[in-house]
Chains A and B, each alone.
Chain A
C-alpha cells in the first residue's frame, strides 16, 4: 500500500565554519541543504539536478546516511534514520548503497577488485571463503565485467570498468535503494551510455530504487521518472520527468533547460537562451525570501519579501510542485523579460548592478 520508500521532512544540513584555536567559535555556516521535503517511491528513479554548490551531493549523502542531518528527518520505510539503534543502522546500511562520481578516488588502488567488491560480505558477515568468491564473480558478471579479472587492481581497468566495479560493490548486499552521485559525469560520452544502460537493466532486473544526482539535464531526463531541481539548498521544482521538461514552471528550471547542450545545430539555432545575471550566490549567506530573486528575469517586489512555498501552482498536476510566486506561463518570453526590481549582483563582494 505504502509506496514511499524514503521520505525527507524539512531536512537541513549545515556545515559550521569555525575560527579560533581554543573555543573554535562558529562564525558562519554553509547552508548546504536548507529545508528539503522529498519523497522517493519504490522502484522509481528520482533525478536531482542543480549546479555545483546547490547541495545535491550533500543531499545524496544525507539520504544514504553518510551525513547526520542538522535538522528535520530522513525516514526510510517510515523509520527515522537518525534514531536507529546500532543494529537498525547496520540493517539500514545494507538496504541503502551509494555509487560515487569518481571511479578513481572511490576504489582503493592497493586492493584487488575481487576483495573490493567482496568487502560488504565480510563487513556484514554474510559470506566468506569460496562462497564469497562465487558471489563476487556473479556480481562481476552481472555488471558486465570479466570474472576472470577477479585478482586485478583498479589501475588495470578503464574509467567505465571502474564505475562498473563501484556498481557491483553497491549491489553486493542486494540493497533496495541506490544513491548515485554523478555516476557518469567523469566518463567519456560513449562509455557514459554503457553505464546508463547498465543501471537501467539492473533496476529492471533487481527492482531497485534510484536517487540519481547529476548536473547533466539530458542524462537526468533519460534515466528519471521524476525530477527535483535544486537551487541553493532547496528544491525549487519537482514533477514527473516528461512534465518538467515539457512545461517547466520555475524560471530557474526554464533557464537551466535553455542552457542545455543540444547536439543538433538546427535546434541549437532555434532555441532562445535565457541568460541569467551573475553567478550562484554563496550558500553561507543566501538571498532572503526567494533565493533565486537576484538572478530571476521575473523577479518582483514580492519575491524579496515573502518566501514562496513548494506547492502545485495554477492548474498543474498535484505532483508538479513549484517554489515560485510567479511561475512561468506558456506565453512567457523569459529570454527577453526583465525583473521589475533592482537586481543586486549575487557576488557578495560586488555592489548593485544597474540594469
Chain B
C-alpha cells in the first residue's frame, strides 16, 4: 500500500459565471520517502488538487478518493482530519508571510503547533523543540530568533520557519505548494537544498507543486504534468525530461531558454491555457497542439502506458504513437507521420 493513493479526484466550484471544473479526474500514488513533482501552469488544477487533499477548499464539490495510510481523507470525520493535518501531513505554502501569524513570536507559533497535537507536552519542552527545529533549518542563533516576530525575518528565513513548523511533528508527508516561487534565486537554492537534506534525514514523502521545471529536475523522483485539471503525463524524472511523450510536456520544455543553445528561437506553446468553465472537448490540449489529429477533437485520450527502458511507470494522455518519445529527429518523424495519417484518414 502506498502512503497516499489518490483516485479519480474531481473538484468543481459553482461561480456566477458557471461551474469551474478545476480538477477533472486525477489519480496518483505517493510512496513513503519519495518525492512527486506536480507541474503545470496557472489554472492546471495543481494547487486545488493539493488543497483538496487536506480539505482546504470550502464550497467545492469533491468526488473521488484520497487514501492516506489507508484512510480516505475526503470522507473522514473533521475531528480525525484535524489530528492528521499538521501532524501526519504538513503543508508549506508559497507565501510564508501570510502563513505565519503576524502578532505571535515565531518560536511560540511552532511550540503551539506541537502542543495542539500533543497537549501533554510541557510548555518548556515544546519551546525547546521549536528552538531545536529552527536551528535544524539553518536559522542562526535559534534561541534568540525564536523570540522574533515574522516581520523581523527575511523572506528566506520565513520559509525556513515554515519548514521547521512543517517538520515539527515529523509528518509522513509534506505537501509544498510553490515553496520557492516567491524567493530569490540564491535563496531558492538554499531552500531546495534544505528540503532535500531534511527529506533524506526524516524519510518524509514530499508532494512538490511547482511551475518551475528546474525544481522538478532537481528533486522529484516522479513527475505529474497537469493540464486543464487532468494529468497530461506521468513519468519518472529522467523519462519525463528525456523521453517525454505528451506534446504539452514537450512544449513546456521548449519554452524555457536554455544555456548553450545560443539564440535559437524559442518555440512556445501557441495560444493560452483554456478556461476551466469551458474546457475544450475531447483532448483539452487539442486547440494548442502542433500535432493535432482528427481523432483528438472527438475522442478523449485516456492515460496510456508508455514503454520505458527503465521499466518505470510512464503514462501519457495522448493519441500519438507511444514510441514517439523525446526530442530527437526519429521521434519527430514518427509524430509527423502519425499526424499526416491522422489528418487524412477522416478527411479522405
Contacts and interface: CB of A to CB of B under 8 A. Distances in A.
A103 to B, nearest CB: 13
A263 interface: yes
B268 A261 contact: no
Q: Considering residues A215, A256, A345, A347, which has the most beta carbons from chain B within 10 angstroms of its beta carbon? A: A347
B214 interface: yes
A263 B256 CA distance: 8
B184 A280 contact: yes
Nearest to B267: A193
Contact of B268 (A52, A158, A197, A256): A197
Nearest to A345: B140
Contacts of A353: 140
A194 B251 CA distance: 12
A111 to B, nearest CB: 22
A162 B220 CA distance: 33
A118 B105 CA distance: 52
B189 A218 contact: no
Contacts of B289: none
Interface string A200-231: 10000000000000010111011000000000
Interface in A245-288: 245, 255-256, 258-268, 273, 275-276, 279-280
A350 B140 contact: yes
Interface residues of A, number: 46
Given A196-B257, A197-B268, A262-B214, A188 B273 contact: yes
Contacts of A351: 141
Given A262-B214, A279-B156, A193 B266 contact: yes
Interface in B62-85: none
Given A193-B266, A263-B253, A350 B141 contact: yes
A218 B241 contact: no
A266 B217 CA distance: 8
Nearest to B148: A349
B41 interface: yes
A188 B40 CA distance: 9
Contact of A261 (B41, B185, B266): B185
Interface string B32-75: 00000000011000000000000000000000000000000000
B344 interface: no
A256 B185 contact: yes
A114 interface: no
Contact of B187 (A217, A258, A266, A279): A279
A219 B268 CA distance: 13
Given A193-B266, A268-B217, A273-B189, A161 B272 contact: yes
A347 B140 CA distance: 10
B157 interface: yes
Given A52-B184, A190-B268, A275-B190, A265 B42 contact: no
B337 interface: no
A76 B30 CA distance: 58
Interface in B238-281: 238, 241, 251-259, 263, 265-270, 272-273
B186 A190 contact: no
A192 interface: yes
A194 B193 contact: no
B121 interface: no
B215 interface: yes
Contacts of B129: none
B188, B215, B259, B269 pick with most chain A CB within 10 angstroms: B259
Contact of B186 (A158, A222, A255): A255
A330 interface: no
A105 B273 CA distance: 21
A189 interface: yes
A51 interface: yes
A52 B184 CA distance: 7
Contact of A192 (B253, B265, B268): B268
Interface in A306-355: 345, 347, 349-351, 353
B211 A189 contact: yes
A51 B258 contact: no
A348 to B, nearest CB: 11
Contact of B241 (A161, A261, A264): A264
B218 interface: yes
9 contacts: A52-B184, A160-B272, A189-B252, A190-B251, A192-B255, A193-B255, A258-B189, A261-B185, A265-B238
Interface of A: 51-52, 158, 160-161, 188-194, 196-197, 200, 215, 217-219, 221-222, 245, 255-256, 258-268, 273, 275-276, 279-280, 345, 347, 349-351, 353
Given A196-B257, A261-B215, 16 more contacts: A52-B184, A161-B272, A190-B251, A191-B272, A192-B268, A193-B255, A196-B266, A256-B186, A259-B185, A260-B185, A261-B213, A262-B217, A263-B217, A263-B256, A275-B186, A350-B145
